[in-house]
Structure 1
């Protein structure tokens, strides 16, 4: 075979089918699987690299280590919902109640709809570290979007600040809490979780 047929890049630990993913995305996919099945603390960088089909030394060409992988995975569970929330906040024709329901449903679908229960990683004690400030920032912005939508409803507009804050905490906690229910009942259709949770969230919001 001539040099034109050789794959360019760092050597891999084993020959694997071409997934079409970049090496970094392969590492993220491997980390998602291992962090959610073996546990974050029990997963070594060697295990992640081997699962992605590369040598451990090559892994550090793409990421700095487990913390960077975890941070990226955490942010990936929030940024799509945040983008959707920004669209909903910018659109003032649809009633706030309907937009709040749509955000709740979509957020649950994104949290529970992937191949791995990444939302469960929120519970890791390591996530409190400063390294995960980016995740906490986007999560706080998403929570504020919930608060703005609740405040924009007919009922929410009459709430005192302390009551609005409480209802926001409860609604946001309900959405994120679905990951625990989903983990204990993974075969239940995600759409069932999403619809029921959105309905319950609106009742908590007083809509």
Structure 2
């Protein structure tokens, strides 16, 4: 008696792999490229799957939809710096000015390494939806970490005229200048951007040299 083979249930498998990335990271990389090239609204999950030669069902094994993909891409530009800020706060031997400078350098490097300059999508209207609350909360946490370090490092005159939130917002925007610099093909110098963050706090060249050990 002949039997019919039973269909195997499980993860849909890719038919072709174009990079050495893990499947989830390959999807993220392809999506980042398409979001930046064509815009988020114009990019479909089918287009993302076709970009790397997999079935659309394989993409849905990893992500529920393109909103989830964008959330993870944006979170990856922020969470490493948030976690690094926590590490810096736990070091009692590190002065606030040095911590601020170190965090700014790391943050610039993270943004400079983000796939396809995904930071350009920070201002997407879609990023204001509830689905992106986690990303916005992470970015506020990073802003407040900058603000706390900056208020401790700032001159008395500056502390008298700025709030922690204002100073944190100014510094995070200064750090994120790396995004348009990268878009325009300009040179990115993480140390110079971090130096500018300390100058924003009112520190002069001598104080910056002392804070950075130069």
TM surpasses 0.5: yes
Shift of 1:20: 4.7
Aligned residue number for residue 205 of structure 1 = 201
SS in 2 for 1:77: helix
Aligned residue number for residue 3 of structure 1 = none
Which of the two has higher C-alpha Rg? 2
Q: After TM superposition, list the pairs within 5 Å mapping 1:84-99 onto structure 2.
A: 84-99=84-99
Aligned residue number for residue 6 of structure 2 = none
Change (3 A) 1:205 1:54: same
Shift of 1:101: 0.6
Q: After TM superposition, list the pairs within 5 Å mapping 1:158-177 onto structure 2.
A: 159-160=159-160, 162-177=162-177
Shift of 1:56: 1.4
SS in 2 for 1:206: coil
Q: Which runs of 5+ in 2 are unaligned?
A: 1-9, 204-214
Is residue 150–residue 156 contact of structure 1 (8 Å, CA) maintained in 2? no
Change (3 A) 1:183 1:139: same
TM, length-normalised to structure 2: 0.82
Change (3 A) 1:110 1:157: farther
Return the alpha-carbon distance in structure 2 between the equivalents of residues 156 and 130 of structure 1: 39
Shift of 1:160: 3.7
Return the alpha-carbon distance in structure 2 between the equivalents of residues 159 and 203 of structure 1: 13
Is residue 156–residue 205 contact of structure 1 (8 Å, CA) maintained in 2? no
Deviations 1:168-203 (A, max 9, x none): 2211111123211221125x2x4x2x1121111111
Change (3 A) 1:10 1:163: closer
Change (3 A) 1:157 1:79: farther
Deviations 1:70-95 (A, max 9, x none): 00000000011111111111112122
Q: After TM superposition, list the pairs within 5 Å mapping 1:75-90 onto structure 2.
A: 75-90=75-90
Taking only aligned residues, the RMSD between alpha carbons, in angstroms, comes to: 2.2
Moved over 4 A (4+): none
Say whether 1:113 aligns with 2:148. no
Aligned residue number for residue 155 of structure 1 = 155
Return the alpha-carbon distance in structure 1 between the equivalents of residues 159 and 110 of structure 2: 29
Return the alpha-carbon distance in structure 2 between the equivalents of residues 134 and 115 of structure 1: 20
Shift of 1:31: 0.8
Number of residues paired by the alignment?
194
Return the alpha-carbon distance in structure 2 between the equivalents of residues 51 and 141 of structure 1: 34
Say whether 1:125 aligns with 2:125. yes
Change (3 A) 1:135 1:156: farther
